[in-house]
Structure 1
Amino acid sequence: MGKDIEIDKYDLTKHFDSKILNILMDPQQRKLKNKYLAIAFWDLSGFTDLCNNLIDEPFAITELLELYFQEANDIIHKYEGIIDKFIGDGVMAYFGYSSNEKEEIASQAINAALDLREKFKEIKESWSDKLVTKSINLDDVTLICGIHIGNVLFGLLETKSRNQITLVGSNVNFANRLEGIAETNQIIVSKEIIDLVGNKYNFDAITHDIYSYGKIEVFNIKEKKSN
């Protein structure tokens, strides 16, 4: 794959994560395999209502998404994460591809979520001051996140019409469920995450009835513990 094709790497990395390109070009890396990763999903809560309020200002909405996605890209890469995809106003990413240290992998995912949550608050403030012509309340537009860790099937999935480097499995689905139950500004993580790095963060325990999983105790990460 890629041997006889002239590839502009910079142009391709505008369409998917640069680390995925490296994996794609290496037959051994792209082979389907069992991999231990932290999976994170982000979403903008209240974004639909914001779009309805700014229906006549589509370029302002686009600008907000561009700022948010750029910061997500920079912060996820800062913590050695890989962006799987942008999903509407959401982001799916994973951490730990190049590491075997479970605690490090879990911390990378949480620290990325904490940094992005704070950065999104700054984005909202600067964006509303400079780009939005009408006065709106952005308090209800918040970044929510769900994080789980475990083994997934990772690699190149091929069909006749399209191929994709991605990860699949029940642990991916559960991470998505955690994002789905997150509320205003929450970073919801699984017990598996807390068991690895719970001593590093302040958090609240919450019991949720999660579809197809039943009642499960999950954890809302509030902040890093002070040294």
Structure 2
Amino acid sequence: MPTATADVLDELVRASALLTEANSVTRLIAAMVEQANDITRSDLAAFYLRTDHSEEVSFKLSYRRGRLDSPKELATNGELVEFLEESEESVVLLERKNSPFNELLLDSNSASGVALPLVTGRSLLGVLIVNSREERFYGRARLQFLDSLARIAAGVLNNAQLYRELQEHARQIEELQRYQENVFSSMTNLLVTTDESGRVHYFNRAAAERFALDEARVGLTLKDIFGKGLTKDVFKTIDTVEQNGQTVLGLEGIYKTDEIDIDYSLNIAPLQGKRGRHEGLTLIFTDQTAESRLKQEMKVVSEERRLIKDMFSSYLSEDIVKLLVENPDLVKPGGGARNATVFFADIAGYTNFSEGKDPASIVKILNEFFEEAEPIIRRHRGYLDKYIGDCIMAVFGVPVDAGEEDTVHAVTCALELQMLVNSPRRTFFRGEAEHLRIQIGMHTGPVVAGNLGGSRRMDFTEIGDTVNVAARLEGVAVAGEIIITENTRQHLGDRFSLEERKPVEVKGKKKPIKIFNVIGIDQQSA
């Protein structure tokens, strides 16, 4: 360590140059600590930076250099920090003794040390501490250097912190400007602002697109830009707002040029700065042409969803109805080709049974059966197409196609219906109707499904050869049977026990059709 005053000044000049060259708070602190440690030849140099979190203040270790250990933090309520903050003077301990400032001896091996406050104005920025294992290590020259270094570092550190705060403030302003620009750009309303001289200062993306504006229009007057489309009364109102500072809302009109036609509602408001200083106007155009079109489109969508709900809510499960409401394109108007499984469930011998009986009692018997059968069909994601006398027509795979699962659902549903009819606990087919059973025919293939009918009445239904074959097979089945075709069987895998039957001839088919009777669910594959 130099002892002559001139040598101390030389070291201080070199250290100061290093401090001023540091381009960040972190590098500045590192340079200060390293110079304090190296030039004084201390065994330890450490800097504790003041940190403010709301109302809590702490002095945490920011940087250290040397062979001795140092704590991570200084006690803010200790004698050392309180003295440094109040007096703004350095504390020197030349030997380890009973002192209220022993805290500045950071390591148990430290014998002497100096604590220097870095102060600017009335604020303590941090504490620089140097320690040595030798007693009376810090003489006049070292103290003179350290004191001067701390004073210079305090000023540079304060400037660096102010610069960092300024950068952060600038970053926040930029983020706020970007956020504001994003908000304005995402607005569907047409936003135009002017400065205090009445010239256009800003317009958002919607205004640029609708009014065909570009950056070259910035700086022009409102009349230069909108003179052809806005009436004299509108400009008179704009002048009035500019003079009296009163907001005008809901000024309606039509902006019309050779290229643009807008039915608008206009809000005009003064743009005020600090202390109410006039800084221009804000004009917000609501494009009622686009708004009306959007409302009409929403009305059409809403009506479309209502029709879908009305059409299917009585025949499909709630989850499928919800899916159709959210995806109306799944229901093609006029009919579309689908692959589906169709079954007809008919009450065996019902025609003979109903002869000579009271019509009201006949209807009651049917309704009691239909009341129990309907929720089973819906639970298995089937579409209850229609009742044909004592027969139920149900379709699986329309209006929502689930692939092979539709066929599995159809056969499972048919088995559950047969179990229901054969159950001793059933609530229908009682009294004279106790002997009644059902027969089911089923076929899988392409169908045309859609809204069919005239302008006064339309129904969602299915037509095609698949429907005809399923209807014919219902006549082939006898009471208690579920007759399916080879097409249906191919979609079932090994889930069900089947009994192959003799192929049957069906009207409209050149060759006999291979058929099977469904016995039940295959327990080995279940």
Q: Considering the TM-score relative to the shorter chain, is it more than 0.5?
A: yes
Counterpart among 8, 17, 21 of residue 315 in structure 2: 17
Q: Per-residue deviation at 1:224?
A: 0.8
Match of 1:203, SS state, is strand
Instruction: Note the aligned Cα RMSD (angstroms).
Output: 3.1
Q: How does 1:211-222 map to 2 (within 5 A)?
A: 211-213=507-509, 214-222=511-519
Letter of the structure 2 residue corresponding to residue 60 of structure 1:
S
Match of 2:491, SS state, is helix
Equivalent-residue separation in structure 2 for 1:204 and 1:224 (angstroms): 12
Match of 2:517, SS state, is strand
* Alignment pair present for 1:87 and 2:383: no
Q: How does 1:166-205 map to 2 (within 5 A)?
A: 166-205=461-500
Cα 1:127/1:181, change in 2 over 3 Å: same
Letter of the structure 1 residue corresponding to residue 414 of structure 2:
A
Instruction: Between 34-43 and 210-219, report the one with greater CA deviation.
Output: 210-219
Q: Per-residue deviation at 1:34?
A: 1.4
Q: Per-residue deviation at 1:137?
A: 7.1
Equivalent residue number for residue 30 of structure 1: 332
Q: Per-residue deviation at 1:182?
A: 1.1
* Alignment pair present for 1:50 and 2:346: no
Match of 1:39, SS state, is strand
Equivalent-residue separation in structure 2 for 1:151 and 1:95 (angstroms): 12
Letter of the structure 2 residue corresponding to residue 101 of structure 1:
G
Q: How does 1:84-123 map to 2 (within 5 A)?
A: 84-97=385-398, 98-102=400-404, 104-122=405-423
Cα 1:193/1:158, change in 2 over 3 Å: same
Match of 1:73, SS state, is helix
Higher relative contact order (Cα pairs below 8 Å, separated by 6+ residues): 1
Counterpart among 501, 504, 508 of residue 208 in structure 1: 504
Q: Per-residue deviation at 1:124?
A: 8.8
Equivalent-residue separation in structure 1 for 2:387 and 2:344 (angstroms): 10
Which segments of 5 or more consecutive residues in structure 1 lack a partner in the other structure? Answer: none
Equivalent-residue separation in structure 1 for 2:374 and 2:332 (angstroms): 22
Cα 1:218/1:28, change in 2 over 3 Å: closer
Q: Deviations over 1:80-126 (max 9, x none)?
A: 11101111111111112333332x11110000000011112238964
Cα 1:123/1:158, change in 2 over 3 Å: farther
Equivalent-residue separation in structure 1 for 2:308 and 2:328 (angstroms): 14
Counterpart among 448, 460, 474 of residue 153 in structure 1: 448
Instruction: Between 159-168 and 64-73, report the one with greater CA deviation.
Output: 159-168
Letter of the structure 2 residue corresponding to residue 221 of structure 1:
V
Cα 1:99/1:137, change in 2 over 3 Å: closer
Match of 1:185, SS state, is coil
Equivalent-residue separation in structure 2 for 1:26 and 1:62 (angstroms): 36
Equivalent-residue separation in structure 2 for 1:116 and 1:4 (angstroms): 36
Match of 2:331, SS state, is helix
Equivalent residue number for residue 366 of structure 2: 65
Equivalent-residue separation in structure 2 for 1:96 and 1:109 (angstroms): 9
Letter of the structure 2 residue corresponding to residue 107 of structure 1:
V
Preserved contact between residue 188 and residue 220 of structure 1 (Cα < 8 Å): yes
Cα 1:105/1:125, change in 2 over 3 Å: closer
Preserved contact between residue 68 and residue 123 of structure 1 (Cα < 8 Å): no
How many pairs are equivalent? 216
Equivalent-residue separation in structure 1 for 2:463 and 2:427 (angstroms): 37
Q: Deviations over 1:159-211 (max 9, x none)?
A: 24421111111111111111121112111111011112151111211121222
TM-score, length-scaled by structure 2: 0.37
Equivalent-residue separation in structure 2 for 1:210 and 1:87 (angstroms): 20
Identity %: 24
Equivalent-residue separation in structure 1 for 2:520 and 2:420 (angstroms): 14
Q: Deviations over 1:120-170 (max 9, x none)?
A: 2238964455xx3xxx4743x221111111221111113244211111111
Match of 2:446, SS state, is strand
Preserved contact between residue 316 and residue 381 of structure 2 (Cα < 8 Å): no
Equivalent residue number for residue 75 of structure 1: 376
Letter of the structure 2 residue corresponding to residue 95 of structure 1:
F
Equivalent-residue separation in structure 1 for 2:495 and 2:330 (angstroms): 35
Match of 2:490, SS state, is helix
Letter of the structure 2 residue corresponding to residue 168 of structure 1:
I
Which segments of 5 or more consecutive residues in structure 2 lack a partner in the other structure? Answer: 1-299
Equivalent-residue separation in structure 1 for 2:403 and 2:465 (angstroms): 21
Letter of the structure 2 residue corresponding to residue 208 of structure 1:
V
Equivalent-residue separation in structure 1 for 2:478 and 2:450 (angstroms): 32
* Alignment pair present for 1:225 and 2:526: no
Preserved contact between residue 157 and residue 163 of structure 1 (Cα < 8 Å): yes
Equivalent residue number for residue 267 of structure 2: none
TM-score, length-scaled by structure 1: 0.80
Q: Per-residue deviation at 1:59?
A: 3.8
